[in-house]
Structure 1
């Protein structure tokens, strides 16, 4: 009985600690003026993780560098003259940033008008769900780069997405 009560206490402490940590993360995130939460799929906690992992956006000159930092770029498989066509994510870089962007991309692929249209077009072309979400994650990383660089809120652009 005592062990059962102690386990319940530990569980309660873990929940309270998690809530306190999330509260502090949101407060720290909100001290910075960012517009990441204007993207469907990015909550306050996810924005705090992204900001914490990226640091200053001035470290990156191009969005492709941020994609590589997150490990969302394609790995190259080649030997001599052979270059493989089955590429996977490189998984180099920050696993926390990659996970946060991947989760945001998963939600955005269903709820953001422009990104869900892009996701559906990829699925219509026969791409697997994971491949389509990976493409959304890469596109979302470009959007995050632009938002942090320009300091402007996200506005979906359906016409540009339709041409891709």
Structure 2
């Protein structure tokens, strides 16, 4: 059995168990179903040791689908010295006539496709990068919860035909007005007070998460990139952190067009027989990063200008980064107005500006030098 060079092992992962199938690298070798194991780390380690003893001279290649269980299997297997690939479920080839789907068939299919090189591995972030991403996402969730509570309170007042006489909503004056408000029925008064308490709690929650995000980002290895990206118009701290936390190392893209395609900002195409048909953007890849870019692209509807806040964000940055940011602002502001004058829809214009922003973001990251990741520190974070 030691004559095999590579053993391809497919894992169909779930919360409670994993289905296992493997295939040898011989031509015509059949995929063997190895059974089901527990999802505990001890069981996965035991599985790896079993294949190591069965094929002592072979290289083990594991593969599983990305899902809600995270990347701990990848980190555990790589810490044991073997290759592991995580693939996106949407990129797994599927036959049109397949109507039966089971865990056993999925594991066998993964092993077979890995052997035939028909799978594309996704980028797996480092543990510390994933932790910052979780913190950035939790801050966004807190902001959404706060907006929902405010909408519910305003809906209650609208149903009772109560209007705030001022214009500065959710200011200290507005909150005092809400505290002194008396509704027609005592039960509605209870609802009003509960909404006010909920808003106060969620405001404090958002402030706590923002403070923690600011503190931990400064200790992050990608903080130089985050700081450099803030030189661009429309990219503040929260957007810069969200982009880098979602995208990770941008140096893995050797051309900005690949990054645009990864973010789903390129137009779809269906061309045949000499006819070229272009459609809307593909919207593939990371949706949150794409949405943050769209949010930043709206700021280019104004004329190019270097505000005081932007000057403060650019303090201490290299001249090359500042020059790229100013070049981006001049071009994108002019392009925004030109597309609007051509009667393009505003959403189409914003998507085009966001797509070009990606190229300047990619260029800025090339100017920032990061410290290399210590592999010993990375592997020590994986529990045995």
TM-score (norm 2): 0.36
The aligned runs of 1:84-163 (5 Å cut-off) are 85-110=277-302, 111=304, 112-151=329-368
Check the 8 A contact 2:300/2:336 in 1, yes or no: no
Q: Hey, what's the Cα distance between the residues in 1 that align with 2:224 and 2:232?
A: 15
Distance 1:54-1:145 versus aligned 2 partners, 3 A rule: same
Match of 2:270 among 73, 77, 95: 77
Q: Give yes or no for the alignment of 1:48 onto 2:241.
A: yes
| 2:268–2:278 CA contact under 8 A, matched in 1 | no
- The answer to whether structure 1 residue 22 and structure 2 residue 210 are counterparts is yes
Q: 1:82, 1:103 → 2: CA distance?
A: 37
Does the CA-based 8 Å contact 2:300-2:332 persist in structure 1?
Answer: yes
Structure with the bigger RCO (C-alpha within 8 Å, sep 6+) is 1
1:44-86 Cα distance to aligned partner (Å, 9 max, x none) = 11111111111111232221121122211111235x5485634
Root mean square deviation, CA, Å: 2.2
The structure where strand makes up a greater share of residues is 2
Pick from 232, 245, 256: which aligns with 1:63?
256
- Aligned residue for 1:91, secondary structure, equals coil
- Deviation string for 1:13-44 (max 9, x for gaps)? 11111222223233333441121111111111
Distance 1:29 1:113, change over 3 A: farther
Number of residues of Structure 1 aligned to a counterpart in Structure 2: 151
Task: Report the Cα distance in structure 1 between the residues aligned to 2:194 and 2:274, rounded to whole angstroms.
Answer: 60
Larger Rg: 2
**Structure 1 residues 97 and 27 mapped into 2: Cα distance closer, same or farther (>3 Å)?**
same
Indicate conservation of the 8 Å contact 1:28/1:48, yes or no.
no
Using the size of structure 1 for normalisation, the TM-score is 0.80
Distance 1:13 1:84 in 2: 54
| Whole-angstrom distance in 2 between the partners of 1:150 and 1:60 | 14
- CA distance in 2 between counterparts of 1:142 and 1:109 reads 19
In 2, Cα distance between the equivalents of 1:100 and 1:106? 10
**Cα distance change of structure 1 residues 128 and 25 upon mapping to structure 2, 3 Å threshold:** same
More helix by share: 1
Query: Aligned pair in 2 of structure 1 residues 29, 73: CA closer, same or farther (>3 Å)?
Result: farther
- 1:5 paired residue number: 193
